[in-house]
Amino acid sequence: MPDLTYQPIAVLSKKLASGEVSSKDITLHLLDRIERLNPAINAFIRMEKESAVRDAEEADKKIASGKSGPLLGVPIAVKDLIAIENGVTTCGSRMLENFVSPYSAKVVEKLRKAGAVILGKTNMDEFAMGSSNETSRFGPCLNPWNTETVPGGSSGGSAAAVAAGLCPAALGSDTGGSIRQPASFCGIVGLKPTYGRVSRFGLVAFASSLDQIGPMGLTVEDTAIILQAIAGHDPMDSTSVDIPVPDYSESLNEGARGMVVGLPKEYYVKGMDEEVRAIVLNAADALEKAGAKIEEVSLPYTEYAVPVYYVIAPAEASSNLSRYDGVKYGYRSDHSATLEEMYANTRTEGFGAEVKRRIMLGTYVLSAGYYDDYYLKAQKVRTLIINDFKDAFKKCDVLLTPAAPTPAFKLGEKTDNPLKMYLNDIFTINVNLAGVPAISVPAGFSSAGMPVGVQMIADNFNEPALFRAAAAFEKTRDPEISQKHPSL
């Protein structure tokens, strides 16, 4: 049997179509690998073994009958805030640890329609609130490159699973960098699509104006294949935009020649790890050699991104999480004498410390007397940040920045300092505030052997430009970057 570990989707698809391997072979191989290796990193928190094997067998029948498709028979993992019908969806929280979803998210429906096999659910920061995957009810996920470090968050389980060769690709969600930062920390590709490009129906909400589902994979092409399958308008999601979905594969081989790549001067600041800075600037040099024009641009309101984000996101979280009161579904405290005590005890016992911190912050900024001073002002500055990007994309096709200010940090290093943890998202949250698409691509390794990714950002619905630039850069890299994998 051919090697089935660390095979990109496009490679697996060809092997399946030729009959060299079956979907059941791949699925059983990965399930075995997960059983052996997952205890070391805690990337998966729930497996869908029976349904995965059943779906793989169904995919093999379709392939035998002459049907084809880039995802037909390919196993994929799903972050555990994306609903799967009759499966448990926990959001990494005690509040939902036994919640069985009565329906599937639209992205899951689309993946299954494309013939993908859902392997299971991946670990995550509780309710997607975290940058290290240390707030999960099911224990922290560990970085397979060095299990003393974090994989990033909140989609740390998805990133670690792909990096460890437990699955070829996974879905994550990105509210302030939760796909791109863990992709950088774990040495994989992670795409945050334009807000409204992918349906959020069946995604448990953290901050509704910021959340977006996106793909994580071994290659830029992998993320393009998955986005092709899950993108498009959904009448069940009022934020889903009804515009045509282009053929993303057409952008992958166009090359960087003629593109204008902007370097935002506000992203190359003091405090950034010098190795990260060097790797990102080397990526700029590589794109220039590939025919792109490199220009310095300015995003002057970048410095306000962190305070704006940590007003708006907790405010929306406070509203969204008010539904978890122990009445209709989810955890309910048994230690209450009155209805009011039941509400208080349920939320005290059901939510972790970080979630409660953000609920309290969000409730405060929305309260009478403070709404105008904090929330309304933050929304006004958000508009200025959006305009920054509009102005920048008048001059360039994509922006090139770090994905994170440092490589992966040690477990526990920032848990006692929330502000220090929040600043780890300094290069990613502007993208969510503006709603534009961005991708993290592996670009090198630190002197300690940890992966470092670069981030590329494009204008609204211009994912083709992202794929074009990212794929062009991918071709210029040292082959070691794609050939080197963690040793578990």
Q: Are 45 and 123 in contact (CB under 8 A)?
A: yes
What domains are there in the chain, each with its CATH number?
9-262+393-483 (3.90.1300.10), 303-382 (no CATH)
How far is CA 384 from its chain centroid? 25
Q: What pLDDT is recorded for position 416?
A: 82
Q: Convert the pLDDT of each residue in 25-65 to its tens digit.
A: 999 999 999 999 999 999 999 999 999 999 999 999 999 99
Q: What pLDDT is recorded for position 419?
A: 75
177 pLDDT tier (thresholds 50, 70, 90)? very high
CB 250: neighbour CB atoms within 10 A? 12
Q: Convert the pLDDT of each residue in 341-399 to its tens digit.
A: 999 999 999 999 999 999 999 999 999 889 999 999 999 999 999 999 999 999 999 99
Q: What pLDDT is recorded for position 439?
A: 98
User: Annotated catalytic, 79?
Assistant: yes
Q: What pLDDT is recorded for position 7?
A: 97
* Cα 158 to Cα 183: distance, rounded to the nearest angstrom: 9
User: Annotated catalytic, 178?
Assistant: yes
Active-site annotation holder among 79, 110, 121, 414:
79
What's the mean pLDDT when you consider all of the chain? Answer: 96
CA atoms within 13 A on the CB side of 29: 19
β-bridge pairing 293-297 and 212-217: unpaired
Q: Convert the pLDDT of each residue in 101-144 to its tens digit.
A: 999 999 999 999 999 999 999 999 999 999 999 999 999 999 99
* Cα 25 to Cα 32: distance, rounded to the nearest angstrom: 11
Instruction: Please say if the pLDDT value at position 88 is more than 90.
Output: yes
Strands (E), 17-176: 44-47, 75-79, 117-122, 169-174
Sign of CA dihedral 75, 80, 217, 7: negative
Instruction: Please say if the pLDDT value at position 24 is more than 80.
Output: yes
Q: What pLDDT is recorded for position 53?
A: 98
Active-site annotation holder among 13, 101, 155, 178:
178
Active-site annotation holder among 154, 158, 184, 199:
154
Q: What pLDDT is recorded for position 1?
A: 62
DSSP count for the chain of H helices, then E strands: 16, 11
Q: What does the pLDDT average to over 465-478?
A: 96
Q: What pLDDT is recorded for position 465?
A: 98
CB 111: neighbour CB atoms within 10 A? 24
Greatest pairwise CA separation for the chain in angstroms: 70
User: Annotated catalytic, 251?
Assistant: no
Give 328: exposed, middle or buried? Use CB within 10 Å, 0-12, 13-18, 19+. Answer: exposed
Q: Among 160-169, 264-273, 428-437, whose mean pLDDT is lowest?
A: 264-273
